[in-house]
Homo-oligomer: A and B are copies of this chain.
Amino acid sequence: MAARDYGQYCGVTRALELVGERWALLIVRDLLVGPRRYGELAAGLPRIPSNILAARLKELQGAGLIRRVPRSRVIIYELTPYGRELEPIVLALGAWGFKAMGDPRAEQIITPDSMTMALRTAFRPDVAASLPATAYGARFGPAELLVRVDGSTLDVRRGDGPVDLAFAAGPEIRRLISGELSPDRAIATGVVEVLRGHGRLLDRFANTFHLAA
Contact = CB atoms under 8 A, between A and B. Distances in A.
Interface stretch (A15-23, A53-61, A144-152, A193-201): A15-23
Contacts of A10: 94, 97, 110-111, 114-115, 117-118
Contact of A92 (B26, B88, B108, B211): B88
Interface of A: 4, 6-18, 20, 22, 25-26, 29, 45-47, 63-64, 82, 85-86, 88-90, 92-101, 104-105, 107-111, 114-115, 117-118, 121, 171, 174, 211
Interface centre among A10, A63, A107 (most CB of B within 10 A): A10
Given A20-B22, A114-B10, A15 B108 contact: no
Contacts of A17: 97
19 contacts: A7-B108, A8-B109, A8-B111, A9-B105, A9-B114, A10-B115, A10-B118, A11-B98, A11-B118, A12-B26, A12-B114, A12-B117, A13-B97, A13-B114, A15-B94, A15-B97, A16-B93, A89-B96, A92-B92
B7 A121 contact: no
Contacts of A89: 89, 92-93, 96
